[in-house]
Chains A and B, each alone.
Chain A
Amino acid sequence: EDQVTQSPEALRLQEGESSSLNCSYTVSGLRGLFWYRQDPGKGPEFLFTLYSAGEEKEKERLKATLTKKESFLHITAPKPEDSATYLCAVQVYSGGYQKVTFGIGTKLQVIP
């Protein structure tokens, strides 16, 4: 069974204090790994897709990286508006279609 573990479950940072969120996975035949941001009362907002080990993608203060066993979401000099829950999800193929399994997320709070 595909498993996705995110850590820490919650993270509190001071504004400007850089850190990383971890997503480790156990799957058969990873096709892709997704990162999302979810604000309270809203649906997940797509951030990145990573397909192969060594791949990196950036968007503003966020950078996502991928290895064969885990992915990191690096947050550089965060601002209060970066506060949200960050979800990681793994994509595999099953029966010709994708199957996506989510982690429980990391709740990030950035304090001014």
Chain B
Amino acid sequence: EAGVAQSPRYKIIEKRQSVAFWCNPISGHATLYWYQQILGQGPKLLIQFQNNGVVDDSQLPKDRFSAERLKGVDSTLKIQPAKLEDSAVYLCASSRDRNLLEYFGPGTRLTVL
């Protein structure tokens, strides 16, 4: 089966600019996650969707980050405006069961200058 797809793979922006990331989960997977992984750290959950509803966004900086999952399939994560500390890899993951965390995409590496 095809894996989790993410785009773009790399993005460089100036601080205060906006950026959006896209994720296409594995077909049929109801649960979708966005994680932030800063260099040298483990992934940190930003938001979890079950179908197109938000289950957990407690660690999402809502003043600048937003995410949506239309029709319970693809998802986009947006940062507006970006800060230097947002430089990280943004990972999307999906699972068929809300109690599993098995399939990660390759990530989008964001550099904020």
Chains A and B are bound partners: yes
Interface residues of A (CB under 8 A from B): 4, 31-32, 34, 41-46, 49, 87, 89, 91, 94-95, 97-100, 102-105
Residues A102 and B104 in contact in the complex (CB < 8 Å), given A97-B50, A97-B55: no
Contact call B104/A105, Cβ cutoff below 8 A: no
A99 to B103, CA, bound (A): 16
Determine the residue in chain A with the shortest Cβ distance to B105.
Answer: A43
For residue A42, which residues in chain B have a CB less than 8 angstroms away from its CB?
106-107
For residue B103, which residues in chain A have a CB less than 8 angstroms away from its CB?
46
Residues A43 and B93 in contact in the complex (CB < 8 Å), given A34-B101, A97-B55, A98-B101: yes
Q: In the complex, how many residues of chain B place their beta carbon closer than 8 angstroms to a beta carbon of chain A?
A: 24
User: B42 is contacted by which of A31, A49, A105 (Cβ under 8 Å)?
Assistant: A105
Interface residue? B61 (CB, 8 A): no
Interface residue? B48 (CB, 8 A): yes
Contact call A97/B56, Cβ cutoff below 8 A: yes
Interface residue? B72 (CB, 8 A): no
Contact call B55/A102, Cβ cutoff below 8 A: no
For residue B98, which residues in chain A have a CB less than 8 angstroms away from its CB?
97-98
